[in-house]
Chain A
Amino acid sequence: MKPFSKASKKEKFTWILLFLSFTLFLLTSIDRQDRMRVVIVGAGEVGTHLAKMLSNEDHDIVLMDDDTEKLRKLTGQVDLLTVTGYATSFRDLKETGISKADLFIAVTPYEERNIMACILARDLGALRTVARINNGEYLLDKCKEKLRNLGVDELIYPESLAGKEIASSVKQVGTRQLIEFSGGKLILMGIKIRENAPILNKQFEELAQIETELRAVAINRASSTIIPHGKDYVRNGDIVFFFATRAYQNRIFELTGKEIFPVRNIMILGGSRIAQKTIERLGDHYNIKVIESDKARSQEIADRFENVLVINGDGRNLDLLKEERIERMDAFVAVTGNSETNILSCHMAKKLGIKRTVAEVENIDFMGIAESMDIGSLINKKLIAASYIYKYTLGAEVAQAKCLTASDAEVFEFIAKEGSKITNMTLRDLSLPTDITIGGIIRGTNAYIAKGDTLIQPGDKVVVFALPSAIRKLEKYFK
């Protein structure tokens, strides 16, 4: 048979065109190049949560664990690659394609393993490494420096972060959540609106006209976060998020009918590591009672903290709590390892008249229910740790990223770059998407609340509130 049998030019042309168009069709839908490759080691709670979150943001995620079962459950749900292997094995790490990784996160329960994994990962070419630690000593600058030289760039200590968060929320009476920007020059406060609030049933439009130094950016209503329109009303039971400068903090309390009282007596249920970190953060100015059921641990806390009264007993026992004068407490913090106990005991404390309660809820599925149960602030160390790590995926412009508890919304502190889109015109003319709100800016040592005629200058720190749908769009404005 003759090779290359006769075919008309038209015929050849059409078939070549066909194959080319197939290829082109594939190419047109080629992926964005700005995606990061993130390798996460440890499919525990923090690792899993991070993997889900980053995968939804469209990053390339590789998750590694030595337990195939844990990974198998995830593969059907989340768009990621799983690798079974050991965090400290060169060969297994190579399997994850670590040489191309932009970010390496080691969050197994073991500190030594995480640090070792980061050292190996750096050696194999990971650009940035993050290790989860359980030892506060490493956070000292001197130790950090040493670890950095070994290849561990960032450290994350979830219990310490949670302790910090609890301590600041105990001090902040009246607010559900308080986030400080640039050392407290600008604050974001989430406040629950009750029947006695003067702004109840007012339109957001009115609010904006009367109070120019405040900005209500979002409300949490029936377990979902919405960005309000001018015509929306403030309703009973809403959690409203306000941006304000420090000077106007008290004005917010007036508007929401919150009574400010000094906190002196604090009861902490559970002597977990979070509790200990919280006590460290609170310092010596409070009367603290800790209730812990484990004898040895009670002893340990008593040894460590001189000014703390440790009660060895079951915190679920109402008589014991009454004996310890729970009704006299200004604040009640429940941080036992058991989310159900924490939720129920905070509920009980509220019933007994304690105004300030904080519950540690580790089970993310409970967060929504707990939020609607009237038990004050919720703390979840996974979410805190995850949003802390999250900022590393957003590039250098982000100075801070915080996740709002009980909602997916995030607050970012961006540094506006020279020539970026956001510095081109006033906020009104920018016409930002509706799921993004700019709360305020920090210029030099002064903080300002954002208004329609605000013009952002290069070098300003810009505090942005964004729903999850908008996080991707943000980068466009700051690049």
Chain B
Amino acid sequence: MFNVRLILKILGFLLIIEGFSMLVAMAVAFLYHGPDGMTLLQTASVCMVTGGIAVSLTRKAGKTISKNDGFLIVSLVWIIFSFFGSLPFLIDGSIPTITDAFFETMSGFTTTGASILNDIEALPHGLLFWRSMTQWLGGMGIIVLSLAVLPVFGIGGMQLFAAEVPGPVTDKLNPKISQTAKNLWAIYILFTAMETILLWAGGMDLFDAVNHSFTTMATGGYSTKQASVAYWDSPYIHYVITLFMFIAGANFTLTYSALTGKFERVYKDEEFKYYVLFAAVFTVVIFGGLLTTTELQAEHALRDALFQVVSVMTTTGYATTDYMVWTPILTYVLFALFFFGGCAGSTGGGIKIMRIVVLLKNSYYELRRILHSSAVIPVRLNRRAVSDQIITNVLAFFMIYLLIFFISSIALTIVEPDLESAMGAVATSLGNIGPGLGDFGPAFNFYELHPAGKWLLAFLMLLGRLELFTVLVLFAPAFWKK
């Protein structure tokens, strides 16, 4: 039924890629004379040897990947990557338990950014960099990376790409999937490098600048400091990071158009318009709220409001201030943003702006449909009617998203009796954001959570990153039937 050999082979190749990335982290460890270089070398060899064995055992694998194979491969890859990716923390001893190490790495690859570390600064440079690297790789996507650098997938690449980048409408930059992946990674690297330079110019250490650029462009949110971005009391740094979070949360295809001079596409894009609109409206509301309820200066209030709104909306999850100390109404307005997410085709998670727009439009038109019972009123997006199939898909997505949110929140109260904290933790994991509410707010972390809760949240992160369906179909009985 499944092309088991091919699945093994692809997983093997991907593990070798992970091994290579660990070697990069190892180079960083040696650069800063950390004690973790050898650890990373060991784990890199483990990855490469395991991958190498898998590849060499499956030389004569058939070439076709079915749709089902695609779902299975992509879901497995993310789990396996997180497992092997957690080895450096485990072996080094910085994170002693499997549960915590797996949680931290899954949170990394899925670009959630929820941490269990109580003293981030104590980690050696190599491991810190590996932690940022997991986000950077996971941000653009493991499959997208391998499509860019490995020609092995052939036609099957389409199935894998569709399973990892599921969005309601996928657009390609180029007829060839491998070329599309290359273009995406090229933009990604370019912006990461630009941000690094800007942050470094603003007074950050070079090492911190690189790490923050990695996790900003991935909309991940891991910081090298316990206090997150609040550690730097510099408006310049806050604005630079806000700008790049905003870019990372926008559709990369649009960014590519802008880079190639087609600005018309950008300002005509409806999703982008709403993206800007939502960010602006929420910023104004919170800015107003902060001005009236706190003693903050106007500039500072605006900066805090803008930073937190963009950080949550793009699902990055950095903090320059603790939003739990705000007047409750402001905290909950921000909590509403937990359910928005970035644009389709960005590195952001969540429900995605495009789905929100389709949902809102469809609900509003439903009113008009009731008034004009025989009118034909299609949902239009970018001046084209959205097909019924996409609308049903979006409705189902939203329904499942909410269902998972409620069931998991209630389930989490078994180990975390405070409902507010439980809901925040679930929403932040499912949306790949990072900080939650209450006990898991920006000032705290997930260290105290019961292991069972950690495994649940790690699973939710994976669900959220692969946009539910890719993972959920594995639980449909029809998937396993011959």
Q: When each residue 165-200 of chain A gets 1 if its CB lies under 8 Å from chain B and 0 otherwise, what string results? A: 000000000000000000000000000000000000
Within the complex, the shortest CB–CB distance from A196 to chain B, in Å, comes to 38
Whether B189 pairs with A23 at a CB distance below 8 angstroms is: yes
**The one of B24, B162, B179, B232 that contacts A1, using a Cβ cutoff of 8 Å:** B232
Q: Interface SS of chain A: helix, strand, loop or mixed?
A: mixed
A293 in the interface (beta carbon within 8 A): no
B204 in the interface (beta carbon within 8 A): yes
Q: When each residue 56-93 of chain A gets 1 if its CB lies under 8 Å from chain B and 0 otherwise, what string results? A: 10101110000011000001111111001000000000
B306 in the interface (beta carbon within 8 A): no
Known contacts A10-B31, A30-B182, A60-B176: A79-B202 contact under CB 8 Å: no
The count of A-to-B residue pairs whose CB atoms sit within 8 angstroms is: 91
A261 in the interface (beta carbon within 8 A): no
Known contacts A4-B201, A26-B182: A76-B162 contact under CB 8 Å: yes
Whether B158 pairs with A5 at a CB distance below 8 angstroms is: no
Known contacts A22-B189, A31-B176, A61-B175: A78-B158 contact under CB 8 Å: yes
Q: When each residue 13-29 of chain A gets 1 if its CB lies under 8 Å from chain B and 0 otherwise, what string results? A: 01100110011011001
**Alpha-carbon distance A22/B21, docked complex (angstroms):** 11
A296 in the interface (beta carbon within 8 A): no
Within the complex, the shortest CB–CB distance from B67 to chain A, in Å, comes to 7
Whether A79 pairs with B203 at a CB distance below 8 angstroms is: no
Whether A3 pairs with B155 at a CB distance below 8 angstroms is: no
Within the complex, the shortest CB–CB distance from B243 to chain A, in Å, comes to 17
A210 in the interface (beta carbon within 8 A): no
A-B contact pairs, 5 of them (CB 8 A): A4-B200, A15-B206, A26-B182, A79-B157, A79-B158
Q: When each residue 201-240 of chain B gets 1 if its CB lies under 8 Å from chain A and 0 otherwise, what string results? A: 1111111001000000000000000000000101000000
Which residues from A are CB-within-8-Å of B189?
A: 19, 22-23, 26
Within the complex, the shortest CB–CB distance from B285 to chain A, in Å, comes to 31
**Alpha-carbon distance A79/B175, docked complex (angstroms):** 7
**The one of A5, A14, A61 that contacts B200, using a Cβ cutoff of 8 Å:** A5
B316 in the interface (beta carbon within 8 A): no
Measured CB to CB, the nearest residue on chain A to B181 is: A26
**Alpha-carbon distance A76/B71, docked complex (angstroms):** 13
**Alpha-carbon distance A404/B368, docked complex (angstroms):** 58
Whether B149 pairs with A29 at a CB distance below 8 angstroms is: yes
**Alpha-carbon distance A26/B178, docked complex (angstroms):** 11
Whether B206 pairs with A79 at a CB distance below 8 angstroms is: no
Whether B176 pairs with A14 at a CB distance below 8 angstroms is: no
Whether A79 pairs with B177 at a CB distance below 8 angstroms is: yes
**Alpha-carbon distance A10/B32, docked complex (angstroms):** 10
**Alpha-carbon distance A58/B151, docked complex (angstroms):** 11
Whether A68 pairs with B387 at a CB distance below 8 angstroms is: yes
* A interface residues with partner B (beta carbon < 8 Å): 1-5, 7, 10-12, 14-15, 18-19, 22-23, 25-26, 29-31, 37, 56, 58, 60-62, 68-69, 75-81, 84
Whether B205 pairs with A7 at a CB distance below 8 angstroms is: yes
Which residues from B are CB-within-8-Å of A61?
A: 175
Q: When each residue 378-414 of chain B gets 1 if its CB lies under 8 Å from chain A and 0 otherwise, what string results? A: 0000001001000000000000000000000000000
Known: A3-B203, A14-B31. 19 other contacts (CB 8 A): A1-B232, A1-B234, A7-B200, A11-B31, A11-B207, A14-B27, A18-B24, A18-B27, A22-B189, A23-B189, A26-B149, A26-B185, A30-B182, A60-B176, A76-B67, A77-B158, A78-B158, A79-B155, A84-B384
Which residues from B are CB-within-8-Å of A25?
A: 149
Within the complex, the shortest CB–CB distance from B86 to chain A, in Å, comes to 23
Q: When each residue 127-139 of chain B gets 1 if its CB lies under 8 Å from chain A and 0 otherwise, what string results? A: 0000000000000
Which residues from B are CB-within-8-Å of A1?
A: 202-203, 232, 234
Whether A5 pairs with B206 at a CB distance below 8 angstroms is: yes
B452 in the interface (beta carbon within 8 A): no
Whether B175 pairs with A37 at a CB distance below 8 angstroms is: yes
B257 in the interface (beta carbon within 8 A): no
Which residues from A are CB-within-8-Å of B182?
A: 26, 29-31
Whether A78 pairs with B155 at a CB distance below 8 angstroms is: yes
Measured CB to CB, the nearest residue on chain A to B149 is: A29
Which residues from B are CB-within-8-Å of A62?
A: 175
**Alpha-carbon distance A29/B162, docked complex (angstroms):** 22
**Alpha-carbon distance A345/B159, docked complex (angstroms):** 40
**Alpha-carbon distance A287/B381, docked complex (angstroms):** 62
Within the complex, the shortest CB–CB distance from A248 to chain B, in Å, comes to 39
**Alpha-carbon distance A246/B200, docked complex (angstroms):** 78
**Alpha-carbon distance A62/B172, docked complex (angstroms):** 11
**Alpha-carbon distance A337/B367, docked complex (angstroms):** 48
**Alpha-carbon distance A29/B234, docked complex (angstroms):** 40
